[in-house]
Each structure stands twice: as structure tokens, then as C-alpha cells.
Amino acid sequence: MTERAAASSLVPSDPFRRDVWPRLAAIALVAYVIYACSRLDVSWERVEAGLANASHFFARLFPPNFQRRDLLVKGLLESLEIAVLASTLGIVLSLPIGLCAARNLMPPWVTWPARAIIVMARSFHPVIVAIVFVKAVGFGALAGVLALTVASIGFIGKLFTEAIEEISQKQVEAVRSTGASFLAVLAYGVLPQVFSRFIGFATYQLDSNLRNSTMVGIVGAGGIGGTLFAAFQRFDYDFVCAILIAIITLIMIGEILATAVRAIFIENATLSDLARGGKMRRVRHAEDD
């Protein structure tokens, strides 16, 4: 048998199988999209009108007005404080909850309640949870911290549980065979396998809380969101533009710091490596892959 014949024998005669079910599913999806558009009054005329209104709105945004720097800086610092506190509390609470939810380490009577807590924490958007806490504890940053803590538990707890369930049991059994306690098994058999992923989860959650802290402020849970909403209500669009630029800058700085933290803990980068940028580039390439 020649090489060409051998290669052709490995390739299926019809790589794209003409199965009727995927086609029916695609047709059903297209039909439902058309039906949903008709029900929701989605039309090209409304899109055209929206584009005209958007052009008028963007024209009023520029140039940005940074004259009220004190109000802007105060809101940004409050959003940063909310994000850091919520991330810290959420991560600290997610560790035991995520551990208890791991089915390869815990019995079912422990995993099911822990998974129920994670599901409940993930069931609602942070803005909805913020409204509940505003009603419970009043307006201010405390409601925002509590709302984003709940969101952090739902996100970090789920990902940490999945990371633990994907570990190799050989290392865990090797530590258990020495007669080590359960805490020692966690420290030497589980944590080394999930540490790098957990650092990634934690930095991403901090970045997410930075963004969400601007949203919960719209409903009175503190942060720059309240300032942004008030500026919209006053039709103070040049100040709105300044707030948006400040929020984007804050998120970009947070992304740079998160990448640096991942480089330090995962790639063992030093300050000189961070200054040169080599380790950070490798971390970005690894995340993209």
C-alpha cells in the first residue's frame, strides 16, 4: 500500500455527515430568532432611529469635563475599596465552600449543601443582589461589598470546586499512604495542584469586581456608579465622559496588576522581570493558549 493510499484510508469518505438533526436544530433556531424579534418589536427602523440618537449622544460627550476631580476621585477610590474588600471576603469564604463541594474529597452529605450555596450565589446578577442588600442595610458601600461578596462566592467557589475535582489522585493517595492527616493531604496533595489556577481565579474575580462595583452603585450600593447615574440624570454628558474614561483607566490598571500578580506567583517572576516585561508576555501567551 502506498503512502497516498494509506492516508486516504485514514480519512473518512464523508467528513461532514449529513445528519438531519443538526439541520432541524439550525432551522428551529432561526425560526425562534425570527419569532423572538417579532415579539420584542425588533425592527430595522428602530435600529436606524437608535443610531441617529446615538450619534447625537456621543457628540454631547466630548470634550470630557474633569473639573470635578474631587467627586470623581472619591467615587473611584470607593469603587476600588468595594472591589478589594468584596474579593478578599469572597475568596476567603469560597475556599472552604469550594473544598466541601468537591465530590472527590468529600461525602455526598457535605457536597450537596455546599453546591447549593454556590448555586444560590450564582443565581442572580450582582445588581439584583445589591438591591436586596440596599433594602437590608441601607444605601452605601456596605451593600456593595456584601453583594459582590456573594457574587465572588458563586464564581470562585464553582471554579475552585471544578479545579479540585480535576486533580490527579495519585499525589493525594501518595500523601495519604504516609499516614498524613486530612489537613496535610490538602496542603501537600491538593493545594500544589490547584494553586496556580486559584491565583488566576482570584485575580480575575478582582478584575470582575472592579467592573461590577461601578454597576452596583447605580442602585445605591456605593462607588462611582452612583456618581455616573446622577450625571446621566442631570444630562451632564461631558462629566459622564470623564467618568467613563476614569473607569476604563481603572480597569486597565487592574488588568496590568493582575497580570503582574500571575507572573509573580505562577512564573516566579522578579521585579526586574516585570520591568522588562518578558515574564508578563509569557503569562499572556499562556492565558491565550
Domains of the chain (ranges, CATH numbers): 77-236 (1.10.3720.10)
Look up residue 51 and give its three cell numbers. Answer: 443610531
Q: CA–CA separation, 167 vs 181, rounded Å?
A: 19
pTM beyond 0.85: no
Alpha carbon distance 36, 42 (integer Å)? 8
Residue 155 has pLDDT above 60, yes or no: yes
d(CA 282, CA 259): 10
| pLDDT surpassing 50 at residue 123 | yes
Retrieve residue 104's grid coordinates. Answer: 472527590
The larger pLDDT score, comparing residue 18 to residue 157, is at 157
Q: Is the pLDDT of residue 280 over 70?
A: no
**Is pLDDT above 60 for 281?**
no
How far apart are the C-alpha atoms of 203 and 198, rounded to whole Å?
9
Range with the largest mean pLDDT of 14-23, 224-233, 261-270: 224-233
Task: Lowest mean pLDDT of 53-57, 122-126, 152-156, name the range.
Answer: 53-57
pLDDT band at 173 (very low <50, low <70, confident <90, very high): confident
Contacts of 79 (CB under 8 A, 6+ apart): 210, 213, 214, 217, 222, 223, 224, 225, 250
Q: For residue 166, is pLDDT > 60?
A: yes
